[in-house]
A and B are shown apart, each in its own frame.
Chain A
Amino acid sequence: MITRFLSEVRTSFNPFSPLSKTARTFLAQLPPDARSQGMVIKSTILPRTSTQKPELAVKFKDGKKLKLDLATMRSTEVMAEVDRHSRILARKEELSG
């Protein structure tokens, strides 16, 4: 997953729900120095009884916001979705030098 262009990641999930796996995998894929590079990472852990669906909100460095419904998406789909915009940014960066 390309994480260079992410500026903000917000998730909320209930770890006792099997649907939370995607959100947790996403968090585990962020690089170890993400916070020191200026990425804002906020994760809210909901109580066990909560029926709220897991959420993931990603903000890119160009200001684009992406909100993903993790209840229906698999981890690979989330990655593909995030990478789609990251690749555009990567190409722009490459062309501008």
Chain B
Amino acid sequence: MPPRIRLQTRQLKVRIYHHQIPSQPCFYASLATATTPAPPIEQTIHSVSPIARFPPTQPPSHKPPEVRKSQLHREYQSLLKSSPLILIFQHNNLRAVEWMGIRRELAIALRKVDAELAAAGQKDLYADAIKIQIIQTGIFASALRVVEFYNPETTELPTQHPSNPATASSAQIPNVKPTPEDSRLAHGLSRRAHEAASDRKKKLDLAPLLSGPIAVVAFPAVSPQHLKAALSILSPSAPNFPAPKRKASPSYHEPAVQNGIQKLMMLGARVDGKAFDQEGTKGVGSIPGGLDGLRAQLVGMLQNMGAGVTNALEGVSRSLYFTMEGRRYMMEEEEKGPEEKKDVEETKAE
């Protein structure tokens, strides 16, 4: 059947309009030849690499890792592990201005110590690493429990991680599930760490200190010189830890700083994992000449001991010699003795 509406053959033609914009050349997608890049040979001979269950730097943790609490816990653990000397202060309602002044004075005093050490040719300069910081007391106590009571054995986590490009796709990787229940996870926020630390029968020495408003000063090494400088700023006491003189550092004697220091109370310290009270800490701070001074003392002591040992050993032979000599002398005397007596008798007889 012919179409009802007659169409002219001219109208059936498909028209292609050439709207050529002078600045833009015209391309037709339909005219382009589609070139799909061939897959690399690696992909064709290996299968798809195994699936990463979690990023290697973010193993699943017991508490949700994104909350502030968990992050602080992690931060405090690393602080406790990396600093062998931590001073613990209570701060009673310090104002921001007072904190600012105290921080400034502490930094100045520590830099002075560093300058002295650098002048003496030492390389243990810690001034920039030592700061006073306010902590969340409960979280800090919990982190301390983990650091003290949780000693993970060698972790059984796979050394080959799926997301590592070096891992062969055929590698047999144990299925580490992205759940905190997995017992192979052994990091500080893991469930194992939580269980080890939540054993209430274990008591911390520092536990009674960790309540109320607490600030800590963490030192990256047990350095008596730096400790002395910090103590003389933060809790000055007359003979060993004098506050800087008014002439030497006038900014220390500003009312803001002085008011702040009155409100700081030193409670104790943690030195090499042991709890120290105020006096013990001052004892550590008053080691003359720092660790080098201690070493010098030890060397001196050992040398004295060596001299003593040689004296003692020599003494034995010497005393033996003397006794033998003495004995010889005595025997000679005895031999001589009767003859002399005879002489005496002879003279009497005459």
Contact = CB atoms under 8 A, between A and B. Distances in A.
Interface of A: 15-18, 20-21, 24-25, 27-28, 30-32, 35-36, 41, 43, 45, 47-48
B265 A43 contact: yes
A27 to B, nearest CB: 5
Nearest to B98: A32
Interface residues of B, number: 23
Nearest to B260: A32
B94 interface: yes
B199 to A, nearest CB: 19
Interface stretch (B217-225, B271-279, B334-342): B271-279
B268 interface: yes
B268 A28 contact: no
A24 B93 contact: no
Contacts of B263: 32, 35
Given A45-B278, A47-B277, A15 B93 contact: no
Contacts of B95: 32
A28 B278 contact: no
Nearest to A25: B212
A28 B259 contact: no
A27 B277 contact: no
A65 to B, nearest CB: 22
B262 interface: yes
Tell me whether chain B's interface is mostly helix, strand or loop, or mixed.
mixed
A21 B211 contact: yes
B266 interface: yes
Contacts of A35: 259, 262-263
Given A24-B212, A24-B265, A28-B92, 19 more contacts: A15-B209, A15-B277, A16-B205, A16-B209, A16-B275, A20-B208, A24-B90, A27-B92, A30-B92, A32-B93, A32-B95, A35-B262, A35-B263, A41-B262, A45-B267, A45-B278, A47-B278, A47-B279, A48-B268
Residue among A18, A28, A30 with the highest chain B CB neighbour number at 10 A: A28
17 contacts: A15-B208, A15-B267, A16-B208, A16-B209, A20-B208, A21-B208, A27-B90, A27-B265, A28-B93, A30-B92, A32-B94, A41-B262, A45-B266, A45-B267, A47-B278, A47-B279, A48-B275
Given A21-B212, A32-B94, A32-B95, A16 B265 contact: no
